[in-house]
Structure 1
């Protein structure tokens, strides 16, 4: 894919929130470039050439992906719990990126990289069948019906996701929105995944770390739902 062929995409959602604290500005200034996955943006890779992962993210462990890492607590937890894997996190929200960088400093984990922008840019340049596990935790629900096409669980995201996931790869979805569960169950299987497990409150994955978004949902009386899909072989 050349720069001229790169699709023009609308991006919906916030990129900035509350004013950053001085410490968060320091994290962004000092740590983001070191942890940013190179060769993903159109500016860095105008020809959209597939990434050489051995160069972009050296290591021999399985490649995992977290789409929309929020405040980063789940991502850091997974990186620390699984030091042999390589974990990429995508998040366009600057405040969330700054929060993640602070948590990385505290935890001292090194086996992760960040793409601080639209995950579709990453899908453009990832090699086929390179990802072994994917996390989608409490994605933006886009509650209005006319906005459901903006959800991640739509073909524009799911088909590229299917291309980059390996046969047998695990795809986890956590949400507190029943209609998001409905759409997930309707749209993920046709993209090339099989539902393996569907669970409710108190039945999360064994290695799950409850995020701040989940805690907010529980405080407000919304039940979590945990769905596990497997990429068809």
Structure 2
């Protein structure tokens, strides 16, 4: 790693937000298709992450043969998670998403692909993270979270100092955290808070490292739409 860091890829970050952690945004929008709705009864119970309110969650107990455990926070329609699971059947991938239409979409992908290494939590990821043991995850993926780009809404952003501390707690030494956004301001905000952690090191050495998708990245329909104010920015960190 170089002695000096690359320049921040976004604009200057806003001051730190504070306050209780909450989920914001839609829980459901369009009507869920009947076949997808049926999977909530026939498939989800067998692949659901245990209720974090019931106590600690041991991810190894969910798939003892797994060589690694990954967590995707906010999987959207599940395209990325399902593709990664198909590529790496040896890896247990936990996916969290409070948007029910997204859960329905991932259930369809899991069913169509007969994926045995996916576990789903249809609610806020922060409760699951709090229930995980220390150093229990090999990778954490946060792709295109809601930017809440109005300044008065910045406190609703997922990346806050308290949550960064929880993420580093559950990430193994040498584990990776990937944050992707198509909003410059959120990239700046996240970079400031992730770099503030003494347990993470940013792996970028030059601008192309955050402008170019990693080799194992899966492009989703959301990314193809380019809904933000810039091309996707990829921030990759390693747990020290």
Give TM-score scaled by structure 1 length.
0.87
Equivalent position of 1:4 in the other structure: none
Distance 1:221 1:128 in 2: 36
Distance 1:53 1:231 in 2: 19
Equivalent position of 2:225 in the other structure: 216
Equivalent position of 1:127 in the other structure: 133
Query: What is the RMSD computed on CA atoms of the aligned residues?
Result: 1.7
Task: Kindly indicate whether residue 96 of structure 2 is the aligned counterpart of residue 84 of structure 1.
Answer: no
* Contact 1:37 1:57 survives alignment (8 Å): no
Cα distance, 1:221 vs structure 2: 7.0
Cα distance, 1:56 vs structure 2: 3.5
1:192-207 matched pairs, under 5 angstroms = 192-197=199-204, 198-200=209-211, 203-207=212-216
Cα distance, 1:53 vs structure 2: 3.1
Match for residue 74 of structure 2 among 68, 79, 89 = 68
Give TM-score scaled by structure 2 length.
0.85
3-state secondary structure, aligned to 2:203: strand
1:26-105 matched pairs, under 5 angstroms = 26-40=38-52, 42=53, 45=54, 48=55, 50-105=56-111
Distance 2:202 2:45 in 1: 37
Equivalent position of 1:25 in the other structure: 37
Distance 1:165 1:173 in 2: 14
Task: Kindly indicate whether residue 153 of structure 2 is the aligned counterpart of residue 147 of structure 1.
Answer: yes
Distance 2:63 2:191 in 1: 33
Distance 1:134 1:9 in 2: 19
Cα distance, 1:55 vs structure 2: 2.7
* Contact 2:183 2:229 survives alignment (8 Å): no
Match for residue 230 of structure 1 among 222, 226, 238 = 238
Equivalent position of 1:108 in the other structure: 114
* Contact 2:77 2:105 survives alignment (8 Å): yes
Query: Which consecutive aligned stretches of 4+ in structure 1 deviate over 6 angstroms post-superposition?
Result: none
- 1:23 to 1:131, Cα distance in 2 relative to 1, 3 A: same
Instruction: Spell out, residue by residue over 1:39-69, the C-alpha distance to the aligned partner (whole angstroms, 9 max, x if none).
Output: 42x2xx0xx3x22334334333111000000
Cα distance, 1:137 vs structure 2: 0.6
Cα distance, 1:79 vs structure 2: 0.7
Cα distance, 1:9 vs structure 2: 4.9
